[in-house]
Amino acid sequence: MLLTTKEIFRKSYGKYGIPAVNVFFMEEVHGLFAAAEKANAPFIVQTTPFARDYAHPKMLLAMIEAAARIYPKVVYAVHVDHGVEDHIYDAIDSGGYTSVMIDASHDDFDTNVARTKAVVERAHAKGISVEAELGVLAGIEDDLIVEAGKSSYTNPYDVERFVNATDCDCLAIAVGTSHGAYKFKGKQGIQFHILEEIQRRLPEFPLVLHGGSSVNPDEIRRINNAGGALKDDAQGVSMAEIQKAITLGVCKINIATDTRLLWTRVVREFFRDTPDQFAPTTPGKVLMEEYVKFMLNKFDDFGTTGKGVDFGIR
């Protein structure tokens, strides 16, 4: 069942979180859809401009559409993440997407409003949901790099003005997370007072948490034991903080770093342990199996397992 994110968030708000997972290649798509069908859990499959340039939008959409036929008992949305107008308007006009994100968070407030409003008008005309962003997250994602000193928390007062001015369907906010594997320094975490104030000003309005990966230290250790050189002080978002954020209006939790670490660990360990192998399909099968396990845990942690029943999937 292909839905817009707006339709999914109406059911999930305040009760469970929807994982929004970046995909690049077939094994990830298979693993994501297989896990969602097994868990009867709604989800968002998302492609970034980086992924669209790498694989081509038609290839990505063809894989997603094929997976939906292979795993028909799933509830999902298809989303363009961190888009600029070229990618967004292509996604809106070419079909296949039910949600787009316009990331004008690096612009001043008025420019962000103007760019977002233009995307909203064009997307809503075709029944497509729009995610916007207010506040700037630090870190690295694909080819986007933001230094910590240039990041900024989202102001709840600005959120109220922004949503009313743009009519966007959900909003990514900066509350302490960041992109990439190195999300926090020291004891810094999610700034819950910001979420609480936004919820007070805009009750029932869906929020989005970018940089939602957990960055399991065991994955870092295993990667490094298999020849990697990742820093061992990488920190992700604790599940307890994500679960609390869900009760305060965070409906969509973006996951990218965790699945990259999973791919890296599987491939490094496979060729370390079986150096005589060279067929790409063999580690690919291992990756799909591990991906399903990973996503089943995420669905459980976010409270999403079994929630397909909210959309008539049993």
Residues with catalytic roles: 81
Distance CA(258)–CA(279), nearest Å, equals: 25
The rounded distance, in Å, linking the Cα atoms of 57 and 100 is 14
Tokens of 184: 């926090």
Helix orientation angle between 109-124 and 85-94, rounded to the nearest 10 degrees: 10
Whole-number Å distance between alpha carbons of 52 and 273:
33
| Residue 207 Cα to chain centre, angstroms | 12
| DSSP for 145-209, written as a single string | EE-GGG-BPPPHHHHHHHHHHH--SEEEE-SS--BSSB--STT----HHHHHHHHHHSTT--EEE
Beta bridge partners of 255: 21
Query: What Å distances lie between residue 4 and 77, 79, 96, 126, 186, CA to CA?
Result: 6, 9, 11, 11, 38
User: Which DSSP letter does residue 235 get?
Assistant: B
Q: Please provide the size of the chain in residues.
A: 314
Check residue 2 and report its DSSP letter: B
Structure tokens at 168: 């966007």
